[in-house]
Structure 1
Amino acid sequence: MRIVARFADMLNHSDETEFCHVYDETRTALRITAGKDYARGDQVFINYGKVRNSRLLRLYGFVIPNNPNNTYDLVLTNEFPLTPAAPLPLDVLRYLCIQRLDPEELSKVGIASTTASKPLSARNEEEVLKSFVDAFCGLLAGFAIPAADLEGSIKEGKYSGNAYAAAVVSLDEHSILQAALEMTKNLLVGITCVKCGTADIGGKKCRRCRNAVYCSVACSKADWAEHKKVCKRVAGK
């Protein structure tokens, strides 16, 4: 059952305020309590719950800078929310990896393997990660205003009212997608041989810097003349 608490609806939202309305079944009444001590003249807030900026803007006409509840809904066959804390959730990666198994790979894995966190095959992992790179680059290219320009304009106070709120939402989504892209590129680097470009989940990392990945000892030795220029500098950090 839903009820309308008219007085509570007059209060604005703040993440720093705990939920302050409780339904008292014994009195069949909605009880509102202060989430903290308020002084005379202070603005009183309530908490609307974990709501992202795009929804706050659409329903209430305001946004919260650096809202921790922001998400970007990546829609495949299913919908996967990308968040600042998890810009590329394991679920979405495994989902596409399972979708893109070829017949030979499918015959070699069981149900337990397809739900595990380990990559299914080098070919499969590389294909999915590259598709993510292309997808995220395409989505980022679709933003009419670059993130740096938006951020600068917001800091300089060039936007106000709904224009400011829309700019914040755009910047929120841009930052989540950018983080997802960087995470995807790092995962791809982690399975790609620096020398020959072959995807190899079992590839060995350089023992000195632990950054460069090689599919074989032969590739590691062949690349040493080039890699040593950066290896010691990286390892010494």
Structure 2
Amino acid sequence: MESWLTKVGAVGLSDLELTDFPVTGRGVKTLRRFKQGEMILTIPSDVLWSVEHAYSDPNLGPALRSVMPPLSVEDILATYILFVRSRESGYDGLRTHVSALPGIYSSSIFFSEGELEVCAGTSLYTVTKQLEQRIKDDYRQLAVRLFAQHPDLFPLQKFTIEDVRLLRRATDPYKWALCTVWSRSMDFTLPDGSSIRLLAPFADMLNHSSEVKQCHAYDVKSGDLSVFAGKDYEIGDQVYIYYGPIPNNRLLRLYGFVIPDNPNDSYDLVLTTHPMAPFYEQKQKLWVSAGLDSTTTVALTLTDPLPKNILRYLRIQRADVSGLAAITLQQIDGTDEKISDSNEMEILRFLEESISSLLNCFATPLERLEKQLAEGVYPVGGNAWAAAHVSVGEQRVLRLARAKARNLLAAVESGSGSRSPSAPARCANCDKGSVPLMLCGRCKSVMYCGRTCQVAHFKQHKAACRGTAQ
């Protein structure tokens, strides 16, 4: 292993060391000081895992090239990893990398039913359920199109989706290989606009931190991958890279961890319209002109809980003949305003009701879940604890979105003189609507029934408040 790591770390490995850290687990420790921007490590191109390298392998390559249409990048890399792990000889360096990988992952697809139920109602819960079925379907296709065609290369006992030797570790070969690709690969955009996905030995041991920015780069000419210091490091510090501004629901699905109070938390709201809806073809053209589609997914975030694309979509969806004509003129003029008070009130009421329904579907309401986390009901770092943080983050985003929809609705109703007593503005924290309310003095976008609720709600409102304040 030492000779392989020496080759991998042709530049910089002598200054680094693999270490188990208390919170993040296995990571990379510095053995000397580094200044921000200084090169820490370079991984030579010949030891990187890529689709190109899989196709160029003398044993695996011909089998992969025989599959038409080609397999996905994920399946090629997952197959490559399993293939190397199954070989008895000839792949010493690559096998050493595989043996250094975690034997088990904590991605949401490995959660028990009870652990996953903690985040029931979240987009993560729905996506994980869908992903479990997709993985089974993809494996069946892979087994028929590749494994069964080359049984000498892919003995099914080593490429199955159920391996009794691994069941005690709550994993299986194909899912394990997929999680390796999801959690440890790096994606780069090439000069021609295409992309490349790589697994880099040793560099894939680096953990994520939002305190550093993009600090790993791919050299197109040499094919090498380099890691630079994203900040100043002292001797013994853990070296980090930056995965990007990723919400907890995606961090847990792909990487198997969460960040408490993640400022990038989001909720993916799916908007869709049936093709048999009135004026569907005309509306579809308007959606396309607005950069949308009949089925559009919009990310609600803490800083922008109700993006303009949601209002754009719903204005078109709920428009009548005169409304569609008004929208067409708006797009020609380049404006982005409501088309009528009645249309605007209809879509805002719909949003308020829909978001309330979504919140009612969560397994545990926000306040109770926050209390359970504070009281240690879920062991810190465990799967249920991580699922709870995903639920907390998504509920906070949805509550901000509902509060914004209510305030926009109150403004339209007030301006049109058609305010309904049955739909008053409500406190963003306790949801009361039958008491005097005050606006947040900073962003003027949410309302509270008193100072107590404003203070209690600040933790989840602060990101949006700072993002919208002028």
Q: TM-score category by the smaller chain?
A: 0.7 to 0.9
- Say which is worse superposed, 63-72 or 26-35, in terms of deviation: 26-35
Unaligned runs of 5+ in 1: 200-210, 212-229
Native 8 Å contact 2:355 2:398 kept in 1: yes
Q: Aligned in 2, Cα 1:10/1:100: closer, same or farther, shift over 3 Å?
A: same
Instruction: State the partner residue of 1:45.
Output: 240
Q: Aligned in 2, Cα 1:37/1:192: closer, same or farther, shift over 3 Å?
A: same
Instruction: State the partner residue of 1:98.
Output: 316
Partner of 2:350, secondary structure, is helix
Instruction: State the partner residue of 2:199.
Output: 4
Q: 2:312, 2:303 → 1: CA distance?
A: 18
Q: 2:372, 2:419 → 1: CA distance?
A: 43
Q: What displacement does 1:10 show?
A: 0.7
| 1:25-104 equivalences in 2 (<5 Å) | 25-77=220-272, 78-104=296-322
Deviation by residue 1:74-100 (Cα, 9 ceiling, x = unmatched): 101211111111111111112101121
Partner of 1:113, secondary structure, is helix
Q: TM-score, normalised by structure 2?
A: 0.40
Partner of 1:191, secondary structure, is helix
Q: 1:40, 1:110 → 2: CA distance?
A: 61
Instruction: State the partner residue of 2:362.
Output: 143
Instruction: State the partner residue of 1:123.
Output: 342
Native 8 Å contact 2:306 2:405 kept in 1: yes
Instruction: State the partner residue of 2:402.
Output: 181
Q: What displacement does 1:69 show?
A: 2.1
Deviation by residue 1:111-160 (Cα, 9 ceiling, x = unmatched): 24156322100110111011101101100111111101111122222212
Q: Aligned in 2, Cα 1:23/1:196: closer, same or farther, shift over 3 Å?
A: closer
Instruction: State the partner residue of 2:328.
Output: 111
Q: 2:410, 2:327 → 1: CA distance?
A: 27
Deviation by residue 1:11-34 (Cα, 9 ceiling, x = unmatched): 111111122211234543111122
Partner of 1:80, secondary structure, is strand
Are 1:156 and 2:351 an aligned pair?
Answer: no
Q: Kindly provide the amino acid, as one letter, of the partner of residue 404 in structure 2.
A: M
Q: Aligned in 2, Cα 1:110/1:44: closer, same or farther, shift over 3 Å?
A: closer
User: Which stretches of structure 1, 4 residues or more, deviate above 4 A after TM superposition?
Assistant: none
Deviation by residue 1:176-201 (Cα, 9 ceiling, x = unmatched): 100000000000100114996358xx
- Say which is worse superposed, 128-137 or 19-28, in terms of deviation: 19-28
Q: 2:256, 2:416 → 1: CA distance?
A: 53
Instruction: State the partner residue of 2:212.
Output: 17
Unaligned runs of 5+ in 2: 1-195, 273-295, 426-435, 440-470
Instruction: State the partner residue of 2:387.
Output: 166
Q: Aligned in 2, Cα 1:52/1:38: closer, same or farther, shift over 3 Å?
A: same
Partner of 1:45, secondary structure, is strand
Partner of 2:299, secondary structure, is strand
Q: 2:403, 2:204 → 1: CA distance?
A: 41
Q: CA RMSD in A?
A: 2.5
**Bigger relative contact order (CA 8 A; separation at least 6):** 2
Are 1:192 and 2:387 an aligned pair?
Answer: no
Q: Kindly provide the amino acid, as one letter, of the partner of residue 159 in structure 1.
A: Y
Size of the alignment, in residue pairs?
Answer: 203
Instruction: State the partner residue of 2:149.
Output: none
Q: 2:206, 2:361 → 1: CA distance?
A: 37
* Percent of residue pairs bearing the same amino acid type: 45
Instruction: State the partner residue of 1:214.
Output: none
Native 8 Å contact 2:260 2:389 kept in 1: yes
Q: 1:118, 1:110 → 2: CA distance?
A: 9
Q: 2:352 aligns with which of 117, 133, 137?
A: 133
Q: What displacement does 1:61 show?
A: 1.5
Q: TM-score, normalised by structure 1?
A: 0.78
Q: 2:197, 2:403 → 1: CA distance?
A: 43
Q: Aligned in 2, Cα 1:110/1:186: closer, same or farther, shift over 3 Å?
A: closer
Q: 2:300, 2:241 → 1: CA distance?
A: 26
Q: Aligned in 2, Cα 1:10/1:130: closer, same or farther, shift over 3 Å?
A: same
